Amino acid sequence: MKMYFEFIFLLNFMLDFMILYGTKRLLKINKAKYRILLGSLFGSITTSIIFIDIDIILLFFLKIIISIFMIIISFGTFNFFQKIFYFYVISLLIGGFIYCFDLNNNYYIHIIFLIVSSLFIVFIFVKEYLIFKYYYKDKYYVTFYYKNKKYQLEGMIDTGNQLLSPIKRESIILINLKIPIDKVIYVPYKALNTTGVIPCFRADKVVIDEKIITNCLIGIATDKINLDGVNCILPNILKEILC
């Protein structure tokens, strides 16, 4: 069957737009929609390379370079690797769906069905992912360094954790680990009708989801933390920094 470049261009434009828009929705990227249109347009224009007789390995690398520029045009370079990861996740999702269908017969009917079905698949995937992310949005990977040792924990923000050190007003990250402390900083607390002090220390470095956190102390919790695998309680004040 004879295929026209205009048809291939339009098809690729629509698929590229779905992939980029799905990436935008997944990561909640605050960028103007016209940038996604420009990224889709760039990806579609470069479909002309399929008419060039080049080595398959070179074609593979050209497609990677094209996808990199599509991401940069659509979303910029901030958190680039996260964006391109989800870009390929959605691409593979749609690509796998296309592979399931035989497009040799009734080609144009299959294409129309493919576009509609792909839109539905991207919508369902994004919706389910956002639901999952909503329930686990307050979970973070916490890494801190103390005395040349590295500690890795999984933390959750607790709106009830309003603890602050009395002098420097530093927020408190509560953990269950037993760590020998040189310089103990005692922070008083009050919960309901209970009062007491929490032994704290200042870590050499605290990193939460790749963000360096300053002006905080590590506190040794007296009660065992057991919240869905979480072993670290983060103060509510960090929500503005991490979100």
- pLDDT tens for 31-64 read 777 888 898 888 887 776 666 677 778 877 888 8
Beta-carbon contacts of residue 45 (< 8 Å; ≥ 6 apart): 9
Q: Quote the pTM value.
A: 0.47
| Cβ-based burial of 154 (10 A; exposed 0-12, middle 13-18, buried ≥19) | middle
Give residue 201's pLDDT. 93
Closest to 129 (Cα-Cα) out of 72, 83, 78, 90: 90
Under CATH, what is the fold of the domain 139-242? Cathepsin D, subunit A; domain 1 (2.40.70)
Report the Cα 175 to chain-centroid distance in Å: 25
Q: Which of 8-12, 15-19, 171-175 has the lowest mean pLDDT?
A: 8-12
Distance CA 134, CA 20 (A): 21
| Cβ-based burial of 43 (10 A; exposed 0-12, middle 13-18, buried ≥19) | buried
Q: Which of 5-9, 88-92, 138-142 has the lowest mean pLDDT?
A: 5-9
Dihedral, 48, 86, 241, 175 alpha carbons, nearest 10: -160
235: left (phi over 0), alpha (psi -120 to 50) or beta: beta
Q: Is the dihedral of CA 77, 79, 83, 85 positive or negative?
A: positive
Distance CA 96, CA 116 (A): 15
Residue type at position 172: I
Q: Which of 5-9, 232-236, 237-241 has the lowest mean pLDDT?
A: 5-9
